[in-house]
């Protein structure tokens, strides 16, 4: 069907390194630390996408504006700013309703500004689709994108209907277009789901085989950029992709670890993030299956992170949401080679339930002790 071109038609092209205006709409009573953390994270998300951040705006609002979320005055301001600074994209760090996105895009279009508007989910989806490598990850992203973008595309269909009506072409044509588009997206969604089911079946087969062989699995989880892939590589000599970026890893990588003469499978996972939109967790639930089924979790934490406790809490929250909170867990503080001073005592005390380890994947320090701890944990599980 030829209507796939519609999206391209209405969206200005986005350069490889788009100049971005960032805006975070927060409640007026927000504390300074959270406010700072949110905008920093938005900036690094945009940076991961490849964006050049030209302005970051924090807007305090008790309630989002019904029509445009950010409010019409702010939108006008941003349009003027976008023109002045030659911005390619406006990124809003919140989750907007399709109608709100549509109204913002309309205002930009009417101002004849070649600027796109993305909400937080758009941005995360764009990062995901830039980085996806396996067929499964690509399908997952496509599915999430259809679900997220779909309603906005219907909106564009409505717009076409009005235009078609206005120029005196066949009446009702636009409505048919909208219906066609809806059906097209629905069919596409069905096809993707079918393909994904096939992949899930083959993964379930692998899992069943591992169980038959009595293989134990350990899954590395943690906030994005915590050093999970580096830890997998350092422990297993496997070449997982490492980058100083958010969401460098989207696909589960599995490496083998030999301990006490037995083989243990270690898997890497997608990084967690605050306010990870629920539909994205849903989309990636299958890649997190390994985590949900693991015999042991390693929660990797960057010891140098200024927001260390918040991020630990965020990861724990997501583990609960995916049903992985009852799995035994070790806390592994990473990147100790970068630390001037490690608050070892505080961390040991605060997280004593999770027997903290301190390692550097770069220098190798602490890795042997961690391997031993993993081996001990797994051996003990076998006995119970
Ligand atoms: N100095 C130092 N840097 C590290 C260490 N471990 C990881 N890094 C760096 O931290 C950054 C993130 O590392 P990754 O291993 O990609 O982190 P990740 O948790 O897999 O990140 P995502 O997949 O994006 O969620 C990279 O620039 C790594 O080189 C370490 O022990 N020491
Ligand atoms: Mg990674």
Q: For the chain, how many structural domains are there in total?
A: 3
- The CA–CA distances, whole Å, from 224 to 116, 192, 268, 270 equal 26, 27, 12, 7
CA of 255 to the centre of ligand 2 (A): 13
Rounded to the nearest 5°, which phi and psi values hold at 141?
-70, -40
Q: In terms of domains, do 145 and 85 share one? A: no
Residue 124 lies in a domain: yes
Average pLDDT, rounded, for the chain:
84
Residue nearest to atom 9 of ligand 1 (CA): 227
Q: Which of 131, 241, 242 to mutate to test the pocket of ligand 1 (most atoms within 8 A of CB)?
A: 242
Burial class for 373, CB neighbours closer than 10 Å (0-12, 13-18, 19+): middle
Residue 33 lies in a domain: yes
pLDDT, average across residues 271-290: 76
Q: In terms of domains, do 145 and 119 share one? A: no
Residue 292: pLDDT above 90? Answer: no
Any residues with Cβ below 6 Å from ligand 1, and which? 222, 224-230, 242-249, 271, 334-335, 337-338, 360-362
Q: In terms of domains, do 123 and 149 share one? A: no
Q: In terms of domains, do 297 and 256 share one? A: yes
Q: Which of 41, 132, 224, 225 to mutate to test the pocket of ligand 1 (most atoms within 8 A of CB)?
A: 225
**CA 66 from centre of chain:** 26
- For residue 233, the ligand 1 atom closest to its alpha carbon is 15
The count of C-alpha atoms lying within 13 angstroms of the C-alpha of 241, restricted to the half-sphere facing its C-beta, is 15
Residue 8 lies in a domain: yes
Residue 356 banded pLDDT, cuts 50, 70, 90: very high
Higher pLDDT, 207 or 215: 215
Residue 290: pLDDT above 70? Answer: yes
Q: In terms of domains, do 236 and 375 share one? A: yes
Strand 254-259 to strand 216-222: parallel, antiparallel, or no bridges (unpaired)?
unpaired
Residue 310: pLDDT above 90? Answer: yes
**What's the confidence (pLDDT) of residue 148?**
84
Residue nearest to atom 10 of ligand 1 (CA): 227
Q: What is the domain extent for residue 273? A: 214-383
Q: In terms of domains, do 231 and 294 share one? A: yes
Residue 232 lies in a domain: yes
Q: In terms of domains, do 232 and 296 share one? A: yes
Residues 189/142, Cβ–Cβ less than 8 Å: no
Q: In terms of domains, do 114 and 35 share one? A: yes
Rounded Cα–Cα distance for residues 159 and 184 (Å) = 18
Q: In terms of domains, do 225 and 320 share one? A: yes
Cβ neighbours of 342 (radius 10 Å): 13
Residue 209 lies in a domain: no
Q: In terms of domains, do 66 and 173 share one? A: no
Residue 200 lies in a domain: no
Handedness of CA 195, 197, 203, 206 (dihedral sign): negative
Ligand nearest to the CA of 221: 1
Higher pLDDT, 291 or 366: 366
Residue 363: pLDDT above 90? Answer: yes
b/e string for 65-94 if b means 16 or more Cβ within 10 A?
bebbbbbeebbeebbeebeeeebbbbbbbb
CA of 245 to the centre of ligand 1 (A): 9
**Per-residue model confidence as pLDDT tens digits over 164-183:** 444 444 445 555 677 777 88
Residue 199 lies in a domain: no
Residue 204 lies in a domain: no
Q: Which residues contact 142 (CB under 8 A, 6 or more apart)?
A: 188, 192
Rounded Cα–Cα distance for residues 379 and 376 (Å) = 5
Cβ neighbours of 347 (radius 10 Å): 19
CATH of the domain at 273: 3.40.50.300
Residue after which a domain boundary falls, among 131, 151, 174: 131
Strand 254-259 to strand 89-92: parallel, antiparallel, or no bridges (unpaired)?
unpaired
Ligand nearest to the CA of 243: 1
**Per-residue model confidence as pLDDT tens digits over 119-144:** 999 999 888 888 777 788 788 888 88
Q: In terms of domains, do 73 and 117 share one? A: yes
Ligand nearest to the CA of 224: 1
Q: In terms of domains, do 149 and 293 share one? A: no
**Angle, in degrees to the nearest 10, between helices 120-131 and 135-166:** 130
**What's the confidence (pLDDT) of residue 244?**
61
Rounded Cα–Cα distance for residues 253 and 31 (Å) = 38
Beta-strand runs (E) in the chain: 19-26, 52-60, 89-92, 116-119, 216-222, 254-259, 262-267, 296-302, 329-334, 357-358
**What's the confidence (pLDDT) of residue 155?**
58
**Angle, in degrees to the nearest 10, between helices 135-166 and 98-110:** 60
**What's the confidence (pLDDT) of residue 313?**
95
């Amino acid at each position: 069907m030829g209507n796939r071109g519609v999206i391209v038609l209405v969206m200005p092209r986005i350069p490889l390194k788009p100049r971005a205006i960032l805006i975070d709409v927060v409640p007026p009573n927000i504390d300074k630390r959270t406010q700072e953390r949110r905008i920093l994270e938005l900036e690094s998300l945009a940076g991961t996408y490849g964006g050049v951040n030209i302005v970051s705006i924090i807007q305090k609002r008790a309630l989002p504006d019904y029509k445009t979320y950010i409010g019409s005055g702010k939108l006008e301001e941003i349009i003027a700013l976008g023109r002045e600074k030659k911005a390619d994209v406006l990124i809003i760090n919140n989750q907007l309703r399709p109608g709100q996105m549509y109204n913002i895009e309309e205002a930009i279009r009417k101002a004849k500004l070649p600027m796109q508007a993305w909400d937080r989910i758009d941005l995360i989806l764009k990062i995901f689709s830039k980085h996806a490598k396996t067929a499964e990850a690509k399908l997952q992203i496509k599915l999430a994108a259809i679900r997220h973008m779909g309603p906005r595309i219907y909106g564009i269909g409505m717009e076409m209907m009005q235009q078609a009506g206005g120029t005196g072409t066949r009446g009702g044509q636009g409505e048919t277009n909208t219906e066609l588009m809806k059906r097209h997206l629905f069919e596409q969604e069905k096809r993707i789901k079918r393909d994904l089911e096939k992949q899930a079946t083959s993964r379930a087969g692998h899992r069943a085989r591992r169980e038959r062989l009595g293989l134990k699995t350990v899954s590395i989880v943690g906030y994005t950029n915590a050093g999970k892939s580096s830890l997998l590589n350092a422990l297993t000599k496997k070449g997982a992709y490492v980058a100083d970026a958010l969401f460098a890893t989207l696909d589960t990588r599995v490496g083998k670890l030999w301990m006490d003469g037995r083989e243990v499978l270690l898997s890497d996972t997608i990084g967690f993030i605050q306010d990870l939109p629920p539909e994205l967790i849903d989309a990636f639930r299958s890649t997190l299956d390994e985590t949900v089924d693991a015999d042991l979790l390693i929660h990797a934490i960057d010891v140098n992170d200024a927001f260390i406790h918040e991020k630990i809490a965020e990861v724990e929250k997501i583990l609960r949401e995916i049903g992985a909170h009852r799995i035994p867990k070790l806390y592994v503080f990473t990147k100790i080679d970068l630390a001037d001073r490690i608050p070892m005592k505080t961390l040991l005390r605060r997280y004593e339930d999770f027997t903290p380890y301190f390692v550097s994947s770069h220098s190798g320090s602490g890795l042997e002790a961690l391997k031993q701890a993993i081996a001990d944990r797994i051996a003990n599980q076998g006995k119970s």
